[in-house]
Amino acid sequence: MGFPLFDLSGRRALVTGSSQGIGFALARGLAEHGASVVLNGRDASKLEAAAKALREAGYDVAVNAFDVTDADAVKHGIDEIESAIGPIDILINNAGMQFRTSLEDFPADRWEQLLKTNISSIFYVGQAVARHMITRGAGKIINIASVQSELARPGIAPYTATKGAVKNLTRGMCADWAKFGIQVNALAPGYFKTPLNQALVDNEEFSSWLQKRTPAARWGEVDELIGAAVFLSGKGSSFVNGHTLYVDGGITTCL
């Protein structure tokens, strides 16, 4: 490949929540730049369908289904990948969920589910992978944050809380693990057309508001996240650590 700073040949990447949406796009993007990828999620059939699509495109793909909100399942799954597939050089913590309702009516069980899915999973998977990376003295961890790491809007306060936590957990991981040769950064998407956001995409009033609020005046397309992910995964970001990179069409620059 002609651009060594962005060449991921010989590297293996684990992407959580990668059967669809942003996770699938990032897995495909890293594979396009030479990485072998391991897809993860809870639905084995969806993972196999995603893996089949990537394999048919000529990419090296493996699958390992485990629940990222279960600490024991995570440890077992990561150890299995390391022993049966190969070392994880790049981790993208992408698994996440959303639930929208007014804060005064927000159900307690949904609050707990958001915490487990959006922040505890990053701790569990990040810690399990980092233990192996530490012994090798190198690794890349990318946590998927959000513009809601920086902003808030009505109806998603708990989601905003979890994504703010992702930003600061990324800083904490950097503080602890940079000395071991690990770069830990966050990638923060703005509003992208994904299954998670389909209800908002279909809402003409919201889409109109978004176009006026965003300097780029449109929704993002998931492929527009690939360049940032490849940069944070490769040699080009060897001294970038604890940073949150916003890919948001400029929405965080304006009031």
Which residues belong to the active site? 159
Q: Are 217 and 251 in contact (CB under 8 A)?
A: no
Distance of CA 195 to CAs 23, 53, 119, 121, Å?
Answer: 11, 18, 20, 20
The amino acid occupying position 129 is V
In angstroms, rounded to a whole number, what is the distance separating the alpha carbons of residues 129 and 78? 7
Q: Which residue's structure tokens are 């090296």?
A: 60
In angstroms, rounded to a whole number, what is the distance separating the alpha carbons of residues 21 and 204? 21
Helices 157-177 and 108-115 sit at what angle, rounded to 10 degrees? 30
Nearest to 65 by CA among 15, 111, 104, 106: 15
Nearest to 96 by CA among 146, 33, 27, 170: 146
3-state secondary structure (DSSP) of residue 78: helix
Phi, psi of 157 (to 5 degrees): -55, -45
Phi, psi of 150 (to 5 degrees): -120, -30
Phi, psi of 224 (to 5 degrees): -75, -5
